[in-house]
Amino acid sequence: MAIDGVSRELVEAAKAGSYVEPENVTEYNRIVRDYLSNPKRLEEEGMNGYHYAKDNFDRELLANKYLNEIKKALN
């Protein structure tokens, strides 16, 4: 990933990828080759991202959390 800021923080929190400075061709090359030679890592980080998104951005889950906060505020 070559986007810094919130996107980078999400990917790092999820353990779902690697950050590369946008202009650093050598590091891009190293990271891509590492993924190509390590498909297990690629699969693991992909699953990490899937689970992180499911656990943190699922609409039903978020709606339930929101409702619980409203209920707490009303009591």
> Nearest Cα to 17, choosing from 48, 39, 54?
48
Instruction: Determine the Cα–Cα distance for residues 45 and 69; give it in Å rounded to an integer.
Output: 32
Q: Is residue 29 part of a domain?
A: yes
Q: Is residue 41 part of a domain?
A: yes
Instruction: Determine the Cα–Cα distance for residues 45 and 38; give it in Å rounded to an integer.
Output: 11
pLDDT value at residue 50: 96
Q: What percent of the chain has pLDDT over 70?
A: 96
Q: Is residue 34 part of a domain?
A: yes
Full domain range(s) for residue 19: 6-74
Q: Indicate the length of the chain as a whole number.
A: 75
Q: Is residue 1 part of a domain?
A: no
Residue 22 is classified by DSSP as T
Helix (H) or strand (E) holding 8: helix 6-14
Number of domains in the chain: 1
Q: What percent of the chain has pLDDT over 90?
A: 83
pLDDT over threshold 90, residue 37: yes
| Stated pTM of the model | 0.74
pLDDT value at residue 2: 61
Residue-averaged pLDDT of the chain:
92
